[in-house]
Structure 1
Amino acid sequence: MPQFLKGVTLENREGDELPAEEHLKGKIIGLYFSASWCPPCRAFTPKLKEFFEEIKKTHPEFEIIFVSRDRNSSDLVTYFKEHQGEWTYIPFGSDKIMSLMQKYEVKTIPAMRIVNDQGEVIVQDARTEIQNKGENVEGLWAEWMALIK
């Protein structure tokens, strides 16, 4: 049970509210720290979206949560709907955004951490790994799964 996101409501593309504890139970989670105003984020997001579309074909247990650093809700939702994949996001203004940034020591964006449903880090710098090895989806997934204790 994802206790590290206890009480958090996620939203999807359709605007549905999903309790994080239910939605993420038993999942491998990518926490994607990004923002619409960040040029490196806008360059990485399409690569992440492509990677996610491929990995979901064989690994439905993988989920991404967009943790936005946008300055307002409108920018967050527009960036999410126009550029990101079929994943969820933490709504603008949630206290959980800053606590996740602190917990996972996110100093710059874009950043991505792969965590298990307990919030334990599996991959510290998934952004670089996806950037460099993302074309080999199954190979990268196998590397990540080998890190799970």
Structure 2
Amino acid sequence: MDCLTGQQLLKKDGTVVSADSALADKKIIGFYFSAHWCPPCRLFTPALAEFYTDLVSNGEPFEIIFISSDNSPEELMTYMKESHGDWLAVQHGTVLSQDLKKKFQVSGIPTLIILNRDNDLITKTGRSEVTEKGPLVFQKWLAASK
């Protein structure tokens, strides 16, 4: 994941981890752009958390990186603790979060971008794919990553 090489990511419990080690064995990475104040986000996030938990508990090589549009670091942490799966987050208000929004041309939230380990885009429509197909879509993403 070139865009995350050398970066630090935030866990739900507030600890910071190296992106390099956290993503070392992951084949599919989802970048989730969302915010606590956004009603469509608050509807989709619990579904994404269930999707994530189902896959990870079955040993799938998947990780989600949350990029917040919340108004403060405190709102980001509240949202993660209330609604999110045990995925990682880019720290609030960083240059990295702005760079990722630009890189993926995110114009609205919630948005779920799916990439493979080599940084190749699999889909920009992860939100609708998760909603429509559930965990079965993961196998499609894996196949597209080869």
Instruction: Report the TM range for the smaller structure's normalisation.
Output: over 0.9
Counterpart residue number, 2:16? 17
Unaligned runs of 5+ in 1: none
Counterpart residue number, 1:144? 141
The answer on whether the counterparts of 1:4 and 1:118 sit within 8 Å (CA) in structure 2 is: no
How far the C-alpha of 1:117 sits from its partner, in A, is 2.5
Identity of aligned residues (%): 39
Unaligned runs of 5+ in 2: none
Q: Give the AA of the match of 2:47.
A: K
Equivalences for 1:55-94 in 2 at 5 Å?
55-94=55-94
How far the C-alpha of 1:119 sits from its partner, in A, is 2.2
- SS of 2:24 mapped into structure 1: coil
Distance 1:148 1:6 in 2: 19
Q: Give the AA of the match of 2:144.
A: L
How far the C-alpha of 1:102 sits from its partner, in A, is 0.9
How does the TM-score come out when normalised to structure 1? Answer: 0.91
How far the C-alpha of 1:116 sits from its partner, in A, is 1.7
- SS of 1:18 mapped into structure 2: strand
Equivalences for 1:97-116 in 2 at 5 Å?
97-116=97-116
How far the C-alpha of 1:123 sits from its partner, in A, is 1.8
Distance 1:9 1:19 in 2: 5
How does the TM-score come out when normalised to structure 2? Answer: 0.93
Following TM superposition, the consecutive aligned residue runs of length 4 or more in structure 1 with deviations greater than 3 angstroms are none
